Amino acid sequence: MKRYDERDTMFARMVYKKGSKAYEDYYARNHEKKAIDDELRDMPELCSPETPTYDPVDAKIPDANFKFLADIRQLAEGEKNGNKTPIEAENISERLKKLALYYGAKHAGIAKMQEYHYYSHRGRLPEHYGEKVTDLLPYGIAFTVEMKREGVDKAPLLPEIIESSRAYVEAAVIGMQLAYFIRELGYGARVHMDGNYLIIAPLVARDAGIGVIGRHGLLITPKYGTSVRIGVVTTDMPLVPDQKLDIQIEKFCEICGLCASTCPGRAIPEGPRQEIDGILKWQVNQEKCYGFWRKVGTDCGICMKSCPFGKSIELLDLLKPKFIENPSKLFKEHLNRE
């Protein structure tokens, strides 16, 4: 898998202000994206008064959460203790995962970091635009925090983005606690949080064995399904990686397709997987997805709301013989329960 350039994500592209150096550089190299990006950029911002979901009080909650995240992102990196504490890889690996759960995470696992986990270049923060990502720390601790169903089930209304932003804050705080602890032990650690990622979190979480990635591009986890947000801390501390979940999620997603059929932006492909850059996968159209966000004024969440995992189907059921032999039966049972 090749490394992905953060400058090509919608979140980065929407930061490029007309006339800025980043704007001029990016669209000089990506002429085909300029028209759609300018159109999206001119639409009302999320949680703004011009959007149909706006509330003068509640809309300030996610705004406040994201401003808080922006204020603490400088803490993602820090100096390590000069006195290194001797550790044993297997013991500290288990200790870190248990600590993440103690702090409130719902799942925790360790991945051996690969180059494809890391962005090739930074793009979202103007002060780092275009910088190559070169500090490829060898291990990643991935964890999830729960998005409460009462928020997810209100998608695409304001309660969904309130809950989404709350979960991003929770993931950032847990990541900080883990990273500060690792640094105190004398090892390097970097928090990857909303607005300040060097990595593609779902890929790290998948390879850390805490979930699988579905048709909608979201991480699907045991018990909570897609109703999670992901945190990652990378480190040079020697750790023991976990095994990926051996679940053929594509067999279920090929039959299900609820996320695609309910997506208001028509951003999730309904057909079979396609080969993209040598990988057979479903590719979400990020322009269509983000375009609906700007129309509705929230980060939507209908794909999470419609996904059967975390509602009436447990991910680990897919390891049972009845699924392996007849995946369509499990999906029909879900529809009947719905």
For residue range 162-179, what is the model confidence (pLDDT) as tens digits? Answer: 999 999 999 999 999 999
The residue-averaged pLDDT of 249-262 equals 94
CATH topology of domain 57-235: NADH Oxidase (3.40.109)
171 DSSP β-pair partners: none
CATH class, range 249-337: alpha beta
Average pLDDT of the chain to the nearest whole number: 95
In which band, very low, low, confident or very high, does the pLDDT at 317 lie, cut at 50, 70 and 90?
Answer: confident
Dump pLDDT digits (tens) for 284-309. Answer: 999 999 999 999 999 999 999 999 99
More confident site: 76 or 311 = 76
Integer Cα distance of 211 and 249 in angstroms: 10
What tokens appear for 182 in the block?
Answer: 């690792």
Tell me what pLDDT residue 334 has: 65
pLDDT at 331 over 80: no
In which band, very low, low, confident or very high, does the pLDDT at 88 lie, cut at 50, 70 and 90?
Answer: very high
The residue-averaged pLDDT of 9-35 equals 97
Tell me what pLDDT residue 151 has: 97
Tell me what pLDDT residue 194 has: 96
pLDDT at 323 over 90: no
| Numbered ranges of CATH 3.40.109 in the chain | 57-235
The residue-averaged pLDDT of 10-34 equals 97
Tell me what pLDDT residue 320 has: 74
pLDDT at 265 over 90: yes
In which band, very low, low, confident or very high, does the pLDDT at 335 lie, cut at 50, 70 and 90?
Answer: low
pLDDT at 89 over 70: yes
241 contacts 111 by C-beta, under 8 angstroms: yes
More confident site: 117 or 335 = 117
pLDDT at 234 over 90: yes
In which band, very low, low, confident or very high, does the pLDDT at 322 lie, cut at 50, 70 and 90?
Answer: low
The residue-averaged pLDDT of 180-188 equals 98
Tell me what pLDDT residue 326 has: 67
pLDDT at 327 over 70: no
Tell me what pLDDT residue 277 has: 84
The residue-averaged pLDDT of 211-219 equals 97
Those residues with Cβ within 8 angstroms of residue 60's Cβ, 6 or more apart along the chain or in another chain: 47
| Numbered ranges of CATH 3.30.70 in the chain | 249-337
Tell me what pLDDT residue 336 has: 67
